[in-house]
Structure 1
Amino acid sequence: MSCSPASSGARPGGSSSSPTGARCSRGDSRGARGVRLRESWRNFKPEQVRDFLRAGHEGRDHPSRLKVIELLQGMTSVLDVGCGTGVMFELIRERRPDLDYLGVDVTAQFVAAARERFPADARRFREGSLYELEGVPGAFDAVLCRHILEHLPDYAPAVQRMYARARRKLIVVFYLPPRPLRLRRKRDERFERGFYTHTYDLGRFLDHLLNELTPPAAEVRVHPRQGTSDHRFRWGDRENIIYEINR
């Protein structure tokens, strides 16, 4: 599916952890004084960090990851926001060794694990927040965000910050795909106590991509049915979806 922003007509309509509800506040230059974040990955035990999303149903060969490799065709560099322990880097190094990669993650343990696993490429992993991407050095053809927006209070500030760092495209992967919600902008599924697991309204999200980014997107392509989550989880029947936002 491909959309062009000239006249959208759109109308408003990952985690496998056991979170404890850890929160932090980060400034938002778009007007939100405190962005309330929730995440528990920093409380993982070392063995959980080491194996997080590396093998099994949601590991490196997940269809959504392989589709990302396809969408990076023609790109020379990528910024992986929420890089975790380097699962995507391992796949990129194997399939696209020519691609200049930098991964950013707010969880220090994940960054440390990635550097330990790939010591020769330790410089490619950096601790930092997606709300502070302006401080990340370098320029990137593509920015990748996989299974992150579901865990935020709202997608709009994050999407704009990532889009601003992408010279050619932003790739967003959801494991909780946006759905028509009628009167609501988002719904917290409460799959994990004390942890955001948002489903966003499909119409509002697509309208935001088409009409509210700066500068306006040239094209938005939607790639549905990119594999499910582990069937043992309550959201396991939902299929990943990828939004490709081209500048």
Structure 2
Amino acid sequence: MPYNVLVTISAAYVVLLFAVAFWADKRAEAGKLGWLRSPWVYTLSLSIYCTAWTFYGAVGYAARSGLEFVTIYLGPTLVMIGWWVFLRRMVRIGRTQRVTSIADFISSRYGKSNALGVLVTLLAVVGTTPYIALQLQSVTLSFDVFAHRGTTGNSESLTQTAFFVAAGLTLFTIVFGTRNLDVNERHHGVVTAIAVEAIVKLLALLAVGMFVVFWVGGGAGETFEA
């Protein structure tokens, strides 16, 4: 795909997500929640769990290990099973203590300890930074492959792409996620944008799956026999 076309499509997609988030926030501010509070929107927004690692790591792990890759999703599955008991209690405690982060939540259980809050924050940053780096690397390499630039070994080009991706994600987070740190606030814009992105992911996965089964594999029967 030509580089300019890829950049245009990517920019248009990002603008679409910004527009959806902005529109959802405006409807929420006007009190026109309607389907913004639909279980479908919330369910689709859970696809945030399926990050770039899902498309790269999970697929490769499944190809190497078979059904063993399902164990990756054992933790989230157990969380959803225990949602009614554990998560409801966490939400209730969070509202009572008026906490807005995992650091506040844990420190509130030990007398609002500032030192503990700082420690948890540092651990969270250290623990999530490599994972965020993995996401940026996946997106950057994907962009490079689609652009057919042959710059996989060009660190400068990859760094520039990663910078713009990170800048866009940061801007989106600031505008729609962290403007107000109110424990009772609902980020309808972010949730709705993620739900729209989930639909795009589902359509893309279905398209790729059908292509592999019916075009590459020659049909469902031949694919499973192989």
User: Please, what TM-score do these two structures have when normalized by structure 1?
Assistant: 0.25
Say which structure is richer in strand: 1
Q: Which has the higher contact order (CA 8 A, sep 6+)?
A: 2
Structure showing greater radius of gyration is 2
User: Please, what TM-score do these two structures have when normalized by structure 2?
Assistant: 0.27
Say which structure is richer in helix: 2
